[in-house]
Structure 1
Amino acid sequence: MPQGSLDRLIYIDDSGHSASGLVVYGWVEFRPDQWHDVLGEWLAHRKRLWRLFRVPVPEELHMTEYALGRGRISESLPPEFVEDGRSLWKDFGRKVAIESLETLSSTAGLRVGSVYRQATRETWATARSDVYNRLIERFEDEMRESASLAMIFMDGDGSDTSYRDAHRKLPRRTRRVIEDPIYTDSKSSQIMQMADHVAWCANAAIAQVPTHEFSHDWYERYLATRDPHRRPLEL
C-alpha cells in the first residue's frame, strides 16, 4: 500500500473543439501549503484589474469570451479603449489577458502543463476520453517512485462520467491520484479560471487559427517558464 502525503493539487480545464477534432487539456498545480499564496497572488491581480479597468473581482475571466472581445467584463471601459465613440473590446480583452498571463508567469510555486491530440470530428469524443486517461496515467508514472499523492479538480458539474471512470480504473492499493475528480465551477473558482487561461493558450498555440494570430505565442511567451516541458505535449 502506498505511503505518502498529499502534495499536488491539480486544476484541469479542457479546450479544443469537436468540429476541428482537437483535444486539449491544460492545468495549473501547486503544493497544498502553497494554496494560500497562489490564490493570494491571483486575487491581488483581480483587485488590480478592478482598480485599473473596473473588472469586478467575482467576474469570471473566461478566455474564449473576453480575450476575443465577446465578453463585457468591465463596468466602465477606460478612455484608452474608446475611440470615436466605439468601445474597443478586443483590444481591452487582450490587454487584460496579457496582465493575467503575466501574473501566472510570476506566481511563485505555480506549475502549469498541457497535453493535446489532433483527432477528427468523428473520433473527437473517443480521443477526448483517451487523452484524459493517458494524462492520469502520466501523473501516476511521475509519482510512482515518490511519496507524492495528488488530487484533481475539474471544471464542470460531473455529468461527464468518463473522468470519474478514468480515476476508478486505477488500482486502489497503489494509485497516487486519490479520489474521483472534484468538480468545480469556473464561474466561482478563481483557480479554475487560471487553468482556463492555460488550456486556452495551449489550444491557440496548437490550432494556429489565423484570426487568433495575436495569441499564437502566448503559451511560449508567458507560460513556458512555468511548464517543466516548456510546451504542450502530444498524447
Structure 2
Amino acid sequence: MSFRWYYVDDSGSPQSGWIVYGFVQVAAEDWSAAPDHWLRVRNYLLSAYGIDAYTELHAYRFINGRGNPSKDPEWNRCKALRHQVAVEVLQAVARMPGVRVGAVARHTDARRDAYAREQLDVYRCFLDSVTDWLRATGEYGTVVVERATVPARATEGAPATETSAPDRRRPGTSASSSELPRTLLALCP
C-alpha cells in the first residue's frame, strides 16, 4: 500500500476574486529524492542568479518585480530575468521524481465574511479531491499545511495540532495512480 504527502499553500485575494489552494504531492517512496532534487535546484539558483535558498519564490512578488531576491542589484530590476527563472523553477518542479503538482480554485465576487466562507468551501473541495484520489488508488496520505493556509473555520473545535478535516482516508482499488495526470487542476463549482 502506497503513501503520499500533500504540501499545500493558499493563494488569491478578495480583490482578484480568486481562491486557490496549490499543492505538491510526493509519493513516500520518492520523498528523499524529491528534496535532494529541490536542493540541487536551489544551489543552481544561487550559483547562476545569486538567489539563496532562504528566498521565498512567491510568484506575486517574484515575477512582478517586488523585493530583491538576488544578491545582484541589476538582476533584481529585470522582470524578464525573473520570468525566465520562474519558468526554470517550474520546469525543475515538473522533473522532480515522484511529484505531482496541482490546484483547486474558484473565482468569486464574494467579499469579507462571504469570501471567507467560500475559502472554507474551496479548502473542503481540495480535501474531498484528495480523499477521492486516495480512495480510488487504494493509497493513504497526509495533508501538510501552514496554519495560516487553513481557513479559520476549518479548524474551529479541532485540537490545536489538527490542521485539516477529520481523517477520511479510506483506500479503494478502482484506479492506478499511473492512469492519473501529472498535473492536477480542479475548479470547484
The TM-score normalised by the length of structure 1 is 0.64
1:106 aligns with 2:99: no
Task: Answer yes or no: is the 8 Å Cα contact 2:119–2:151 preserved in 1.
Answer: no
Matched with 2:187 is: 234
Distance 2:11 2:148 in 1: 16
Distance 2:106 2:10 in 1: 12
Task: Answer yes or no: is the 8 Å Cα contact 1:72–1:89 preserved in 2.
Answer: no
Unaligned runs of 5+ in 1: 82-86, 178-224
Equivalences for 1:204-219 in 2 at 5 Å?
A: none
- Secondary structure of the equivalent of 1:121? coil
1:27 aligns with 2:18: no
Indicate the percent of aligned positions where both proteins have the same amino acid: 26
Task: Answer yes or no: is the 8 Å Cα contact 1:54–1:77 preserved in 2.
Answer: no
Distance 1:158 1:66 in 2: 20
Pairs aligned (count): 170
Instruction: State the Cα deviation string for residues 121-168 of structure 1 (Å, max 9, x = none).
Output: 333211110011122122212223554221111134578433435844
Over 3 Å counting, the alpha-carbon distance change for 1:145 and 1:68 in structure 2 is closer
Matched with 1:15 is: 11
Which amino acid counterpart does residue 132 of structure 1 have in structure 2? Y
Distance 2:21 2:13 in 1: 12
- Secondary structure of the equivalent of 1:14? strand
Equivalences for 1:1-235 in 2 at 5 Å?
A: 7-77=3-73, 81=75, 88-122=77-111, 123-144=114-135, 146-157=137-148, 160-164=151-155, 167-168=164-165, 170=166, 175-176=168-169, 226-227=182-183, 229=184, 232-235=185-188
Over 3 Å counting, the alpha-carbon distance change for 1:73 and 1:162 in structure 2 is same
Over 3 Å counting, the alpha-carbon distance change for 1:47 and 1:233 in structure 2 is same
Task: Answer yes or no: is the 8 Å Cα contact 1:149–1:176 preserved in 2.
Answer: yes
* Mean CA deviation greater in 156-165 or 53-62: 156-165
Distance 1:58 1:42 in 2: 13
- Secondary structure of the equivalent of 2:44? helix
Which amino acid counterpart does residue 169 of structure 2 have in structure 1? R
Task: Answer yes or no: is the 8 Å Cα contact 1:19–1:121 preserved in 2.
Answer: no
Distance 2:86 2:11 in 1: 17
How far apart are residue 19 of structure 1 and its match? 1.7
How far apart are residue 53 of structure 1 and its match? 1.0
Distance 2:134 2:24 in 1: 17
Over 3 Å counting, the alpha-carbon distance change for 1:144 and 1:102 in structure 2 is closer
The TM-score normalised by the length of structure 2 is 0.78
Which amino acid counterpart does residue 22 of structure 1 have in structure 2? W
Which amino acid counterpart does residue 16 of structure 1 have in structure 2? G
Task: Answer yes or no: is the 8 Å Cα contact 2:104–2:125 preserved in 1.
Answer: no
